[in-house]
Amino acid sequence: MRRPAQASSLKPGAGDQRTPVRVTFDSAYYVKLGRGGKWEESSIREGKVRIGWLQVPVDEINTKKWSAVERRIRQGTSPKGATADLNALRKFCESTSSDLWITFHVSRLWWCRLVDGPVEKDDISKYRRTKAGWSDRDADRRRLLTSEIPGRLSKIQGFRGTVCDVKDADALERLLNSDASPSYLALRGARHALEEHVTAAVAQLHWKDFEVLVDLIFRQAGWKRTSVVGETMKYADIELQEPITGDRYQVQVKSAATLSDLRSYAERFSGEAFRKLYFVVHSPDTTLENADVSTWPGVELVLPRRIAAMVIDAGLTDWLMQRVR
């Protein structure tokens, strides 16, 4: 079913740049570019949408002799399969530049619009030209990685035929425009509220519990502790090792601290023995909150809001609840 007609999606800009405009479309279709994806690379490189149906002459397609086309398609296939093939071919041939076409290649979703013109043929296959080439980016120029798009869209890759409708066109439109769904917005609001509560709760921790929490955060991320939490060390509370690379890190944990405190540790940090020093504080003063740590390479300041996000991501919210109960 066609949606109400909308404006074009992108306007050409200077050079290779494009001025982002809202991506809209009448209908959306998925196309498999050859058996096993054999035409994906050439289609995307050349700005074409390639199809098969080798037994059907191009002139019969462009003159819309659908009865003759159907008779050719029926040879060697079931009536049901022939009907599905004919419908798919007609969608492809009758699609206008107001429609959107998508496919998948090298773990990315690609989309295009077709030029309002005939089906053509070269030494490889039949094809239609695209209006502005294929794009693997949304309106904000972010790549459309298959691993990061909704499953209800990425599952279309499993379609066994050549052409099918994109049933959740609204989800596709949101994706291409980098819009958020109502569910996402609700969850983001809940996440923001949770971070606020976690930030306040962390600030109530005894310094010893805070050290344990920071240790748990890093270990939940898979890092190995090579020192005892809180043991007497000259410049750090925790020493860690990243298990894959073997890189070593130091962590200094403070309930409260100032810029002067950070400077004291940063200037003594040994970048030769350790890759980075994390300075973690749940109650910084204003001088530390506004600190510029770029003058100390290898030193990273971790403040309350980020601590809260790390607690949530590490699944330590229940642990924190027990400590502030």
| Structural domain ending residue among the three candidates 158, 179, 200 | 179
CATH number of 281's domain: 3.40.1350.10
Residue 207: per-residue pLDDT? 92
123 and 234 assigned to the same domain: no
User: Does residue 5 sit within a domain?
Assistant: no
Query: Which candidate, 148, 302, 126, 315, places its Cα nearest to that of 217?
Result: 315
One digit per residue, pLDDT tens: the chain, 325 residues? Answer: 445 434 333 333 334 455 567 899 999 999 999 988 999 999 999 999 999 888 899 999 999 999 999 889 888 778 888 888 899 999 999 999 999 999 999 999 999 999 999 999 999 999 999 999 999 999 999 999 999 999 989 999 989 889 999 999 999 999 999 998 889 899 999 999 999 999 999 999 999 999 999 999 999 999 998 876 555 455 678 999 998 999 999 999 999 999 999 999 998 887 888 999 999 999 999 999 999 998 898 999 999 999 999 999 999 999 999 999 9
User: Does residue 2 sit within a domain?
Assistant: no
166 and 258 assigned to the same domain: no
| Structural domain ending residue among the three candidates 155, 179, 203 | 179
Contact 266/274 with Cβ under 8 angstroms?
A: no
Other CB atoms within 10 A of residue 61 CB: 22
94 and 195 assigned to the same domain: no
The backbone torsions φ and ψ at residue 112, rounded to the nearest 5 degrees and listed phi first, read -160, 175
Other CB atoms within 10 A of residue 312 CB: 15
Structural domain harbouring 23: 10-179
Rounded (10°) CA dihedral 147, 155, 1, 83: 140
205 and 164 assigned to the same domain: no
213 and 173 assigned to the same domain: no
User: Does residue 127 sit within a domain?
Assistant: yes
Residue 259: per-residue pLDDT? 95
Residue 316: per-residue pLDDT? 97
The reply to whether the predicted model has a pTM over 0.85 is no
206 and 303 assigned to the same domain: yes
251 and 104 assigned to the same domain: no
CATH number of 47's domain: 3.10.590
261 and 126 assigned to the same domain: no
User: Does residue 100 sit within a domain?
Assistant: yes
3-state secondary structure of 62: helix
User: Does residue 3 sit within a domain?
Assistant: no
User: Does residue 208 sit within a domain?
Assistant: yes
User: Does residue 257 sit within a domain?
Assistant: yes
206 and 174 assigned to the same domain: no
Contact 122/129 with Cβ under 8 angstroms?
A: no
143 and 253 assigned to the same domain: no
145 and 202 assigned to the same domain: no
| Structural domain ending residue among the three candidates 136, 158, 179 | 179
168 and 191 assigned to the same domain: no
Query: Which candidate, 233, 242, 241, 244, places its Cα nearest to that of 211?
Result: 233
Q: Number of folded domains in the chain?
A: 2
User: Does residue 1 sit within a domain?
Assistant: no
